[in-house]
Structure 1
Amino acid sequence: MIDKIQARILHQIIKIANSKPDIKTRLFRIADLIKDEFNLDICSIYLLDESASLLILRATNGLPIEFVDKIQFQLGQGITGEAAKYKKTKSSNDKSAIFSESLSKLLSKDLSKFKDLFENIIASISIPILDGESCLGVIELLLKKEFMFEPGLIEFLESIANQVSGIIRNAKIVYEANQSLSELKKINEIGKAMNSASSLETLLNLIVKTSLELIPSRGCFLRLHNRDTNKLEIKAFSGFDDYVKTNPALTLGQSVAGIVAKEGIPLIVHDIKTETRFTPTSRNLPFSSILSVPLIAKGNPIGTISLLDKIKDESFEGSLVFVLRDQNLLSTLASQAAIAVERASYYENMQIFGKENELKVRELSILHEISNAMRSTQNLNRRLYMILTAVTIGDGLGFNRAFLLMVNEKTNLLQGMMGVGPANAEEAGRIWSEISKEKKSLTETLLEKKPMEELARSKINEIGKSLRVPISTETGILSKTVLEKKPFNITNAWEDTRVDKKLLSKLNTDHLASVPLLAGDKVLGVLLVDNIFNKNPITQSDLNFLVMFANQAGLAIESARLYSYLEETNEELKKTQERLVESEKLAALGEMAAGVAHEIRNPLVSIGGFARRLHQKFNSNQPEGKYLDIIIREVKRLELILQDVLGFSRESQLLLSKNNINDTIEDILLFFDVEFKEKNIKVIFLLGKDIPQFLFDFQQIKQVLINLITNSIEAIGNNGTLEIKSYLKSDNNSISVEITDTGGGIPLNVLGNIFNPFFTTKNTGTGLGLALTRKIIEKHGGHIEIRNDIGKGATFELNLPLRSEDNVQAQKE
């Protein structure tokens, strides 16, 4: 009878072994068969995990399905544990409660409510499932009645265990073959995919995804070594987002991944919290188990792939812990991934390098165009306008607005010189639209003269010219730009304590950048830019280009200033040379004139004396008397000419005294009062009340004013206006006297000669009046200027320094 039962059971087991369902289903069928055939209370099949240290319930009949995968215990624990450890069948008949209690203790806390299932269990037998010298698991049979496990029955149960062993072994072989094939396919696919990845980021995400597909886990981190910071940085990941946010990088040698990257070897940690080789901080992680392998390229670790908390593969009774097979598999993937990452990194770096080179070429091209355009002029204002236009035009640096401030060394101020840009968003849109339609080159735009002419009407230019910033450590970002000789990029200006709020109120912007204009080590000024209309952020690349441009602009400004200074110096030298030549001519002429005058004067005195004696003997009605009148009159005229010539040729000393220039003017106007009335000349005088007394030669300045007023009266003739104005100049160191007439102006062919000695357009006079006038003014340290308006009149402007006794004494010393 037993033989027939055994034969039937074996036949059923063979059928189950040859069936197609998965291993778990077949194990459940075997448990059902054994329980039913032997009329048992519980039949359970436990399998060892891949570490061969834990027995885990994989199939049962008699226990709730919830127990599957939940009941597990160490090798050697209890009768079933001993059967697995010693690879021998173990049985027991124990009526005491101790035995059932020992079974209940195997339940975890969440399953403790089912402990009554083990009550009254008094008999058990555990048969190891052996594969040669290895134990794969245990078949456990439990009864609530006494049962004698005879040797023949035990032998039969062991034969069933051998059949189960064959089922498990064959299933593992099939599973591992399928798994290996699947892994090879995946690795082959990932190899192809990695070689065709469009970017490094795509590749890294693909590696993470594939790692999780090969070895299902709760998370995966892919870290790359940053050689600049010597840190392992997470570049792609899946799972544990909060951890990544707070721990984006590791130091080499820190934690599991740090050790793997430093030593270049893979590492498995089953429970990070119990690993004493790591610091407490490194053990306080949101995951327990870790498999980490290095990414090695050309013999050097370039990063790591780390899998976190393995997930059981439902297709087979796989392990919940990482094993050597997982390590080998991930290492195989990592070897391919490292090559792909190295290649992708190189390609990406080449792309970045190419873009940087392209940008540098564009920047150098722009600088070259700007430089060529600026070489077309040495005019400082024109160059400043070109600089600001280049900063704001789209083909140039492309900022919305630009302001240029220059250092005034005398006042220690940053002084606004110019501003360029649209006044509002509407104007910005219109200008940008026009520029895009015109399609002019940068050079053509910079050389245009029309925008320069419109600059005077620009609101932005008004704002720019109104800027005044004291250069000190307390006056804000523009001052710091000068003092520290470095650029600043301010992204939130209203909240930045370094930015002067008065400046922001004028500019009405919240994001600006300032760079120093340097010529060598000297700061000439500051270039201030913003993107107030299109709101584009000012990047570090933008700032670097602006600095490079500002360096070139600083040299251009310095060049223009030097050229202007050289022109002024050259012009001054020319004037000095002309005055020197003229002075030498005048000296020679004066010396000759003085000699001639002396030679003429003595005979002229005799002629005049004898003529007056003879005139006493003849009256004017006689012919002789008329002739004598003419001789006497001409002698007087000649004497006056000789007096002018001698006066001009003599180097008379200035007799300086403190006088009021307005009083002097008023005295002279009284002298001409009768003549003004006779000729109906209206006199307007505007005399500055703030002019102090100062040192000048009263008689000589009086002579200057008389000469100029006399000339104006002669130019007006009758019925005109004479305006005399005096005022203190803005420098407070000099005064001006302007004499303006309505005499029709000075003909252009005459204007260049009016200060030459003996040049005159009158029928009378010596032509020495204006020459003597300029000589006197220049001896006082001043100068004379003419504003000529043909058809209307002329203005003679006398400029005299406010000389005091102190500075006269200093000049003598």
Structure 2
Amino acid sequence: MKINTQLPLAKWGGIIILASLHFILLNIYGKNYENELSIFPVLVAGWFFGRRAGMVTAFILLAGYVLILYIKAEPWQSIFDANFILNLLILSLSGIGTGWLKSIYKTQNIQDVELKNRLREADALAKISIALSQAERVGLAGILQLIVDSAKNLIPSAEQAVIHILDEEKKYLVAQAASGFQDAPENRLRMQLGKGIAGQAILSGETINITDTNTDARFLRANNTPRFRSLLVTPIVGGEEKLGTISVQSELANAFTQHEQELLGALGVQAAIAIENARLLESTQQSLKETNALYRINQGLVAFTVDELLEDVVNLLKENFGYYHVQVYIVETQSKEFILKAASGEIGKELLEQKHRLQAGAGIVGYVAETLMPFFSNNVDEVVFFIRNPLLPDTKSVLTIPVKIDAHLFGILDIQQALPKNFSTRDLQVVSSVADQLAFALQKAELYQSLQDALQHEKSMRNQLIQSERLAAVGRLLASVSHELNNPLQAIQNALFLLKEEKGISEQGKQDLNIVLAESERMAGLIERLREAYRPIREEDYKETQINNLVNDTYALLATHLRHNQVEFEFIPDNQLPTIPVLTNQIKQAILNLVINAMEAMPTGGKIIIQTQHLPESDEILISVTDTGKGISANILPNIFEAFITDKETGTGLGLTITYDIVTKHHGHISAKNNYGAGATFSVWLPTKRLELV
């Protein structure tokens, strides 16, 4: 501690002045002077400098008394009289007594100061203990700041105090709280373990007291001169774990005592308790967040809406764990590209609106998809295959987890973090658990979707079976009716032929008779086609046919009827269309049915467009019939090809059913859809190669 050398000199100066006055008066008055002032120098010397100083001063005064009287030629008997003996006793006892009283006063004062210091220390430690009990409200930073402030205030020579805490990787000491620093230098904020006195103290586990930085070899000087001479550093240890250091420094050499080392150690214990409590609290809160996250994801397992589940997961992770950005990619089956399915925050909404996707194998997401292993880095600048998104410029750390069950990959959970936060192994464990739960949820949703598809397929097959049974019933009915009609029709035709051979029929009668014969022949042909349509098909019935020719034949047959109904007709043929094996009359009937259906959909006129197209990649040809009518009613569109389904007042609902049956027998398929704006389009696909008979 710093000692003021001027104060003792001033005290001795006062003693000398008093003694000089005493000697002056003695020299003037001699024996007549009663030594009234002699006691004051003795009292002052005894009080300020102790018993020995008081006795020495008394003897000096008595020696001066004898010397002056001797010079003044006083007789020895007069000098050493009873008054001299009395003065000797008074002055000696006064010097001794005053020094003794001062020592008692000093001891008491030291005890009082010591007691006050202990009370201050106890009060400071009590405040720290109270703060520790309220750690959740005060926070670790507040408690550590209270500790360094207490260290600076309780240690008189301490001018600055600082607490360094080891980072998660146990490589650096990072300043967490400081007191007394106006402009803390950068090296105070972060120090490598083992470097500097603080680094040495935490490695050794012992308190280090640098009494003088100019002479102590343990203190390694940097380029600049330190602002302190004394440095006291004690490690902060919790159990067996080294947590950090607490240190104080002073401009004075030899500034810190053993008691102050012990006090700093006690503050270090409080800091260790604060850090461990904070970590325990953080761990508990983290566990609660993890439990809540897993619970909410498990709750999501009961819902089969994948989009809602993914959106809930990304928002939950961002809100509960404070991540910078969370997103989920789904692998597209055909292209193997990664399609963004869910993303957090406003940036996520923007990415979803952009329909963001990544190429197969691109970036960290592609790497994880290929390896099926988690990947995380706290410095993406060192990852050569990292692709930075312009909307996420602050990304510094990345944690990417495959959402999979065994080797089946459902998607990729990609999480990004910004400074000052980093990912830890705890984050890896938590997010991996979330990814596992998400995988089970997606698997369940996938199974549910497969079940729905299977049920829908089964329903469709059942409807087709019912329709086939209806068509079979219609076929049997038509075959029966055509058979029953054929017999009387043949009788009518025979009678007409006989009547035609008779003589005496007028010319008008002959003309009328020819018309009746022609119509009866047409009716016979119609009945024959109905019988052919529903009799067993033989392989030799299939003929290589040019569909373009059938379309032209259909137009020739209906041209007059189309003009009468003010319907335009346009045919766009594919000139490279190959011939295909078909039942010519049946396919012609199917095209005829589609054109008549389109024409009836435009009672006030319109336009019909027929287009043919060769599809070599699927070995098919496509026939499309488009009209500009009112379109197909939404309530009958799904069942448009079922028997007796129609929205026409005069229709039977069998034309499209017969067409569907004809196309199906040819191993083709047919569809109907409403066009954008107006009208409808019927599309027929027929194979170009002969297949097994239906």
TM interval, shorter chain, is 0.5 to 0.7
1:641-671 CA-partner distances (Å, limit 9, x unpaired): 2442233222244747584x55653443234
Residue type of the alignment partner of 2:307 = L
CA contact (8 A) 2:326 2:414 kept: yes
Match of 2:249 among 308, 323, 333: 308
Change beyond 3 A, Cα 1:786–1:207: closer
Change beyond 3 A, Cα 1:385–1:293: closer
CA contact (8 A) 2:174 2:189 kept: no
CA contact (8 A) 2:613 2:623 kept: yes
Match of 1:572, SS? helix
Change beyond 3 A, Cα 1:181–1:369: same
Change beyond 3 A, Cα 1:570–1:610: same
Structure 2 residue 145 is matched with structure 1 residue 205: yes
Quick one: distance in 2 between partners of 1:222 and 1:395?
Answer: 32
Quick one: distance in 2 between partners of 1:417 and 1:205?
Answer: 46
1:133-170 CA-partner distances (Å, limit 9, x unpaired): xxxxxxxxxxxxxxxxxxxxxxxxxx9xx99x979988
Partner of 1:707: 593
Match of 1:214 among 147, 155, 171: 155
Change beyond 3 A, Cα 1:561–1:258: closer
Structure 2 residue 412 is matched with structure 1 residue 472: no
Change beyond 3 A, Cα 1:489–1:346: closer
- More moved, 644-653 vs 294-303: 294-303
Quick one: distance in 2 between partners of 1:404 and 1:666?
Answer: 55
Partner of 1:674: 560
1:549-602 CA-partner distances (Å, limit 9, x unpaired): 777666656655544443333333333344456557767986898799889979
Partner of 2:685: 800
CA contact (8 A) 1:746 1:794 kept: no
Partner of 2:115: 181
Change beyond 3 A, Cα 1:606–1:351: same
Match of 1:410 among 334, 340, 349: 334
Change beyond 3 A, Cα 1:482–1:736: farther
Q: Gapped runs of 5+ residues in structure 1?
A: 1-20, 39-128, 133-158, 312-319, 425-458
- More moved, 388-397 vs 233-242: 388-397
Shift of 1:737: 0.6
1:471-495 CA-partner distances (Å, limit 9, x unpaired): 233xx576567557768999999x9
CA contact (8 A) 2:310 2:341 kept: no
Within 5 Å, which residues of 2 pair with 1:130-141?
Answer: none
Q: How large is the Cα RMSD of the aligned pairs?
A: 6.4
Partner of 1:356: 286
Quick one: distance in 1 between partners of 2:282 and 2:107?
Answer: 50
Match of 1:740 among 593, 616, 627: 627
Within 5 Å, which residues of 2 pair with 1:452-491?
Answer: 463-465=353-355, 467-473=356-362
Partner of 2:7: 25
Residue type of the alignment partner of 1:245 = N
- More moved, 261-270 vs 400-409: 400-409
Quick one: distance in 2 between partners of 1:479 and 1:583?
Answer: 49
Within 5 Å, which residues of 2 pair with 1:358-397?
Answer: 359-360=289-290, 363=293, 367=297, 374-375=303-304, 384=307, 387-388=310-311
- Give the structure-2-normalised TM-score: 0.62
Within 5 Å, which residues of 2 pair with 1:467-616?
Answer: 467-473=356-362, 498-499=386-387, 504=390, 510=393, 518=403, 520=405, 522-524=408-410, 559-580=444-465, 583=468, 609=494, 612-613=497-498, 616=501
Residue type of the alignment partner of 1:25 = L
Residue type of the alignment partner of 2:258 = Q
Partner of 2:261: 330
CA contact (8 A) 2:402 2:412 kept: yes
CA contact (8 A) 2:670 2:683 kept: yes
Change beyond 3 A, Cα 1:586–1:293: closer
Partner of 2:177: 236
Residue type of the alignment partner of 2:459 = K
Shift of 1:410: 1.5
Change beyond 3 A, Cα 1:568–1:461: farther
Shift of 1:683: 1.6
Quick one: distance in 2 between partners of 1:238 and 1:787?
Answer: 79
Residue type of the alignment partner of 1:464 = Q
Quick one: distance in 1 between partners of 2:616 and 2:437?
Answer: 34
Q: Identity of aligned pairs, percent?
A: 17
Match of 2:534, SS? helix
Match of 2:580, SS? strand
Change beyond 3 A, Cα 1:570–1:695: farther
Shift of 1:800: 1.0
Shift of 1:327: 1.6
Quick one: distance in 2 between partners of 1:750 and 1:267?
Answer: 89
Q: Gapped runs of 5+ residues in structure 2?
A: 21-49, 54-91, 132-137
Change beyond 3 A, Cα 1:477–1:463: farther
Match of 1:409, SS? coil
CA contact (8 A) 1:608 1:632 kept: no
CA contact (8 A) 1:739 1:797 kept: yes
1:184-221 CA-partner distances (Å, limit 9, x unpaired): 23322323332233454344334434444424045444
Change beyond 3 A, Cα 1:556–1:607: same
Residue type of the alignment partner of 2:566 = I
Partner of 1:696: 580
Quick one: distance in 1 between partners of 2:601 and 2:269?
Answer: 99
1:22-64 CA-partner distances (Å, limit 9, x unpaired): 98523444368679999xxxxxxxxxxxxxxxxxxxxxxxxxx
Quick one: distance in 1 between partners of 2:629 and 2:300?
Answer: 49
1:585-634 CA-partner distances (Å, limit 9, x unpaired): 76798689879988997998688557634653477689x99999989976
Quick one: distance in 2 between partners of 1:564 and 1:296?
Answer: 57
Match of 1:650 among 532, 536, 541: 536
Change beyond 3 A, Cα 1:418–1:640: farther
Quick one: distance in 2 between partners of 1:478 and 1:299?
Answer: 40
CA contact (8 A) 1:729 1:736 kept: no
Within 5 Å, which residues of 2 pair with 1:143-158?
Answer: none
Quick one: distance in 2 between partners of 1:220 and 1:749?
Answer: 85
Within 5 Å, which residues of 2 pair with 1:776-791?
Answer: 776-786=662-672
How many residue pairs match? The answer is 593
Change beyond 3 A, Cα 1:215–1:264: farther
CA contact (8 A) 1:405 1:414 kept: yes
